[in-house]
Amino acid sequence: RVLLKEDTFNLGDNVENYVHRIDFPKTNTFLILEFEGQFHFIHKDEIVEWNKSENDLFECAIQNLPEDEIEAKEYEFVEKFTVYIFFSGDYSASLMLDLRNRANYAIGKFGTLIAIPTKGTAYVHPIENSDILELIVILQPTIEKIYNEDSGNITTNFYWYYDNKMQILPAEQSENGLLISLPKDLIKLINETE
């Protein structure tokens, strides 16, 4: 299986010794074995006997994510934003790596807004128009709270998924708090279409 962790996550060893890749900027996606409720982060030298490429192993691991252990609920915020919240013990964030196949209903005309505060919680909004910064302002405190209080925290960043690519939403700290803006490519896409 796969498990997402913040890029500052310390395994007690050099991260380059482990089978990992970057799917969400500022995170690492690790190849893991799960057994008896424990996670084993796989070292690169441990995959030799499988005789498969790292990419093939990741694809297999993503397919093995237990969809029946993940619950998706639909919510509406301020009577205009549909948000799907995925809950599980360990794999909601990882399921976002297969959004197109597992939850394509969450992909809008302009892609998807994604937040993965913990391994067990993911927020997903299908982007249909340009007012998503309003939704981000609403969600931000909840994302921060979940990240700080729940186990398996990953990141407080927001991401834009479009055309099989993941981009981080630019954020900078100011005296008024965290300022999040839309990626230039998303602004361009909206302006060309609306």
What is the rounded distance in angstroms from the CA atom of residue 179 to the CA atom of residue 177?
6
CA torsion sign, 145 to 149 to 151 to 152?
positive
pLDDT of residue 194: 65
What is the rounded distance in angstroms from the CA atom of residue 145 to the CA atom of residue 57?
34
- Provide the b/e sequence for 84-96 (b: ≥16 CB within 10 Å): bbbebebbbbbbb
Tens of pLDDT, residue by residue over 69-105, are 899 999 999 999 999 999 998 999 999 999 999 999 9
Q: Kindly report the average pLDDT of the chain as a whole number.
A: 94
Tens of pLDDT, residue by residue over 7-62, are 999 888 899 999 999 999 999 999 999 888 788 999 999 999 899 999 999 999 99
Give percent above pLDDT 90 in the chain: 86
What is the rounded distance in angstroms from the CA atom of residue 76 to the CA atom of residue 82?
5
pLDDT of residue 176: 77
SS3 at position 147: helix
CA 115 to chain centre: 6
Residue 171 pairs with which residues in a beta bridge? 180
